Amino acid sequence: MKILILTLWCLCPLGLLAYHYGPGREGLRLDAADALLDQAQASTQSGDPKAAVAAFEASLAKLPKDRVAEARRIRLELAKARMESSELPKAREELVVLAEEMEKDPDADPLVRDEALATLATSRYYMTYLMKLEGLPDTDWEPEIEAARQERKLLVERAEAAGDAQAVARHSDDLESAIRLARTEPEELYGKAIPKPCNCKSGKCKPNNKVGKKKTEDARGASAGPPVDGSGS
């Protein structure tokens, strides 16, 4: 009996070590990711999007690789924070990747999938707004706003199929906003306050390195545009 007890006692450190480098380590990473996520959400609520971006990035880095669903949710919130922190082009790029990834995954959470698509459409709306404001040619902004229109149309169709009247109304309103922006002349945008999240300076919100033809001091689009969270008007 003494030998058995001694053997078990000697094996305890090995068991603890195995736990530390196995489930224990993953648990620590999850705890760290949760703490950073709380910090990011607090920064968002307090109106500090730059701090939120840093915290969302750190939370994503701590999250175990197999936590795909949680990572997608964080990636979506990170993109929203970027849109509020003058990182619209980068947010759009990340949303394109996320939306395409979720559209191809039959097991993806449909709510997160549609929210990602709606937020992508919103980012395209603001990118179009800025490109038109900069005086870029139609060939630059037309593909962007057309993609936003198609994405909103798909969201309307999905909402109709689900019998969600409120979602149908929201996405329909945003679809109309995209159509109105496409028809708006650049001159109509000058001299108005820029709608959020287009709070960046000349040239910062273009998806390429082309220099804009015109500069304006404080301009806003034909409408306030859809909210950053992709929830509709």
Cβ contact 140:116 at 8 Å: no
Q: Whole-angstrom distance between the N-terminal and C-terminal Cα of the chain?
A: 73
CA–CA gap between residue 30 and residue 183 (Å, rounded): 48
pLDDT of residue 1: 57
pLDDT of residue 68: 96
Alpha helices in the chain (DSSP H): 2-21, 23-45, 49-62, 68-84, 88-104, 110-133, 138-162, 165-183
Judge whether 11 lies within some domain. Answer: no
Domain hosting 103: range is 86-233
Angle between helices 23-45 and 49-62 (to 10 degrees): 170
CA–CA gap between residue 99 and residue 114 (Å, rounded): 8
pLDDT of residue 29: 76
Last residue of a domain, one of 66, 99, 127: 66
Residue with tokens 């450190």: 13
Query: CA separation (Å) from 149 to 90, 192, 198, 218?
Result: 20, 24, 19, 26
Residue 232 and residue 181 share a domain: yes
Q: What is the mean pLDDT of residues 197-224?
A: 40
pLDDT of residue 228: 62
Residue 152 and residue 47 share a domain: no
Q: Mean pLDDT score of the chain, rounded to an integer? A: 82
The pLDDT tens digits for 101-152 are 999 999 999 999 999 999 999 999 999 999 999 999 999 999 999 999 999 9
CA–CA gap between residue 66 and residue 77 (Å, rounded): 19
Residue 90 and residue 58 share a domain: no
CA–CA gap between residue 115 and residue 104 (Å, rounded): 15
Residue 232 and residue 172 share a domain: yes
Residue 230 and residue 166 share a domain: yes
Last residue of a domain, one of 66, 98, 127: 66
The pLDDT tens digits for 67-79 are 999 999 999 999 9
Residue 47 and residue 142 share a domain: no
